[in-house]
Every structure is written in structure tokens, then in C-alpha cells.
Structure 1
Amino acid sequence: MFKPSAKAAIVSIMTVGAALSFCLAAARAGDDVTEDQIIRALTPDKKPLTRGLSAGPQTTSPELNADQAKFVQSVRGRSTRSLSSTEREEIASVVKDKPNIDLEITFDYNSANISAKSMPSVQALGRALTSPDLKGSTFVVAGHTDAAGGEAYNQDLSERRADSIKRYLVEKYGLNGTDLVTVGYGKSKLKDPSQPLAEVNRRVQVVNMENKTTAAK
């Protein structure tokens, strides 16, 4: 049997270990993107406080011109697979100056299943897009893959990943499907070209294509 002093030492070690485990869990939780960060990143003229995520230009977001607005209307409600390569590039051109955020939503390898570690970020996205600040806007949900595999395979996978996010947001948060324009870019727009097989390349980017004051209902 342990002596009293030994028992005390063991209890002390266990207590410290539990405290360290709690602190590590808290630190990991703190790394998740928050609803507020997403809202600020996707709202024009507001610069977010970011950590572990990247956001696009947050200067004044130019209004869509007549041709762009007409194009946006033409892709609202379209299926991901129905978009031509020309239309995909046109979407990229329209949104390049729009508020955006790369949430680094990752997926299981060779799969469109959202990874467990990314689920908190997807849920934060759902809450953000249904907030009064953003509700009613039209958003681009763009799927990306790493560089493994052929172009056709990755294009299909990126489209399925974008669809996976859209399906989750519509089913769990009641978002209008026509407000989410899903597009796949395969391996054509790697986040980290220096590491083409890195996990960060298997992601979804969200862009606020137009704010709710100009979005067509």
C-alpha cells in the first residue's frame, strides 16, 4: 500500500494532469473560428480579427454592375455540376473584390465528408449566415481539393464538397438554397502551392457576393 505522503503526491500529479488536459482542450477550442469572426469578415467595410484563418480584402466592396448582377441572377439556384468552366471563372472574377473568408473547412481524404475537427467551424458558419447581419445575402461556397489525382476527379470531388457544405447549411440552419451558389475549382486554386498535397488545400471558401440590400429575393 502507498504511504500517506505517496498518496498525496499521486493525487497532486493527477490533479496537475487534469488541469493540463483541461487547458489544452480549451486552447484547441479557442482555435475554432467564431460566428462573430465570420460575420465581420463577410460584412463589407469591416476588418475581422483573425486567427488561423485568412480573409480577403475588407475595403469598400464595389457594387455589382448591371452585367454582374444579371450573371449572379443566372447562377442562383443552379446545381454545382451545371456550371461550365467559363461560368466558374466568371464567378471567381465577380467575387475577387468581395468580402470573403477561408475557413479551412477540411474533409476526410478522398471524401466529401466534413472532418470532425472542422464541424465547429461549419456550425459557426451556419449561425453567421442566419444572423441579421448577413441573412438574405447571396454567398459563394467554393470547394477545393489538394493536387493528388487527375483534374476530372478533383473537379468532381470539389463540387461534392461544396454541395456537402450547402446541404448541411440548408438542412441544419434553414438557409435558402438559392442564396448559396456552390462551385468547385478542383485543384486549380491551391491555397498552398508549395505543398500541393497538404490538408489546407482541401477546403471551402465562402464569399459574400452581394449584400442583402442589393440581393435579389
Structure 2
Amino acid sequence: MTITAPKWLTGLSLALAAALPVQADQAEDIQKIITSLAPVQQESTAPAQEAARGVQIGGRTVWVVPQHSIDLQVFFALDSYELTWRAREDLAALGHALASSALRPHRYLIAGHTDTTGDDAYNLWLSERRAESVARFLVENFPIDPQRLVAVGFGETRLKTPGNPTDAINRRVEVTLLLPARPEANAPAAAPTAPPPVESVEPVAPPEQPLPGTLQKDKDGNITITW
């Protein structure tokens, strides 16, 4: 698993569900993910207000905190959004981290990215299906509320290595902290002098019939699983 994360802090308790055993070689990866994605705590133990960026998805704006983000290289079969066995193994650490007490109160954007191989419209569609596959795997295999995860595809619009657009590192899943941290919270707290940039993401047209075993989002962003 490839993780892009700042130097991780010590002292955060994993507090993982007892029903989900953690392999010894996963502990360090889980702790790194927790530290990268957890909001900075103030002395009052409340999350500190950090710089957020608005991203418009399907007619609504969600607020992401880029400082708390990781990139995961998730392996899919060619032209497929089905997770490989290796992808499932790599995503286990993320599932444990999101189920931990440190991250459980918070919501996250699950963003799919592709390289530039193939048609851009197809890449956009495929990246969203892959993000949904990751979110579905997490909620089906770990005690994670589906409302905590918002899946979106960016296709080839946010390359990790623009100088090498077909590199495998561009085919990744990005996990980013969303504000508000809790559904009832207001975010961001204070309006800046100039409004923060809002990035538009064109909604991806679904197939004519819902694909079996995929996540579906309604206009309010609610996620349901179709079988």
C-alpha cells in the first residue's frame, strides 16, 4: 500500500472494534492513516478550525480539508471497478482506521482518480465506480456508517504526476477529511474576507440500469447499496 502522509504523531489509540482482528504488520499503517486523517485537536479537545476548500459535487458543496488527506494505490483489473484480492488486503488498514474511535466521529471524501489512458468521459465514469467500490467494501466489512463516506470520481482531471500522465501512480483513491466533522456542525465557522474557491465536479451519468452491488447517491448525497 502506498500512503502519502505527513510524519505521524504518537499516542493516538487505535481503539478498534474487537470483532476486527488487526494483523501485526498492519498496525503501523493503521496508525499513520489515523494520524493523517484525524483533525488537529485543541487544548479543549475540540477539532481545530483548519483551512477548508469547497468542492461542488452534483449541485451541492462539500468542504474538504486538504491537510488531512492520503493517497492509496488501489489495484483494479483493467477497465474494471471490481476490487482485486490485493486491493481488499490493502484497504483493510483504511477500514480499521476509519472504524477507530479517533476517526469515527468524522466524515470523508472517497475520490477516485485515473491516468489519461482512454476517453476522458469514460475515465470519469470509471473513477466514480471505483470510488463507490472502495466505499462499499469499507461499509460492508467494517462498522462504518455509509453516511460518513462520500464517493466521487475525478477521472483524469487531477493527475498526481502531470509530467507522466499514464503513470500507474495516477490511478489512485484519495481519502480526505470533510467538514463539518459531524452532520449537525456548521462549517467553516467564520466566513473569510474572500470566499474560498469552489471547484466544480461534473456529476457522472450512471448507466441506464443500476449495476449490481454498486452504491447509489440521491440528490441529497444519501448513499444506498443496490443489489
What band does the TM-score fall into relative to the shorter chain? Answer: 0.5 to 0.7
More helix by share: 1
Partner of 1:35: 30
What is the CA-CA distance between 1:205 and the residue it aligns to?
Answer: 0.3
The whole-number CA distance in structure 2 between the counterparts of 1:120 and 1:196 is 27
Alpha carbons of 1:149 and 1:193: their partners in 2 closer, same or farther (altered >3 Å)?
A: same
Residue 203 of structure 1 aligns to which amino acid in structure 2?
A: R
| Match of residue 108, structure 2, among 134, 139, 157 | 139
Residue 216 of structure 1 aligns to which amino acid in structure 2?
A: E
Structure 2, unpaired ranges of 5+ = 1-23, 42-47, 186-227
**Maintained 8 Å contact 2:65/2:177:** no
TM-score by length of 2: 0.59
Correspondence 1:1-217 to 2 at 5 A: 34-45=29-40, 61-62=49-50, 83-84=57-58, 87=60, 90-91=61-62, 94-210=63-179, 212=181, 214-216=182-184
Q: Percent identity at matched positions?
A: 33
The whole-number CA distance in structure 2 between the counterparts of 1:188 and 1:174 is 32
The runs of at least 4 aligned residues of structure 1 exceeding 6 Å deviation read 29-33
**Maintained 8 Å contact 1:134/1:211:** no
Give CA deviations for 1:161-205 in whole Å, capped at 9, x if unaligned.
Answer: 000001101111131111101111011001111221121111100
The whole-number CA distance in structure 2 between the counterparts of 1:43 and 1:159 is 24
Alpha carbons of 1:195 and 1:127: their partners in 2 closer, same or farther (altered >3 Å)?
A: same
SS at match of 1:188: coil
What is the CA-CA distance between 1:120 and the residue it aligns to?
Answer: 2.8
The whole-number CA distance in structure 2 between the counterparts of 1:116 and 1:209 is 28
What is the CA-CA distance between 1:98 and the residue it aligns to?
Answer: 4.3
The whole-number CA distance in structure 1 between the counterparts of 2:52 and 2:173 is 23
**Maintained 8 Å contact 2:52/2:64:** no
State how many pairs are aligned. 156
Give CA deviations for 1:118-172 in whole Å, capped at 9, x if unaligned.
Answer: 3333110000000000002110000111101112101110010000001101111
Instruction: Point out the structure with max Rg over C-alpha.
Output: 1
More strand by share: 2
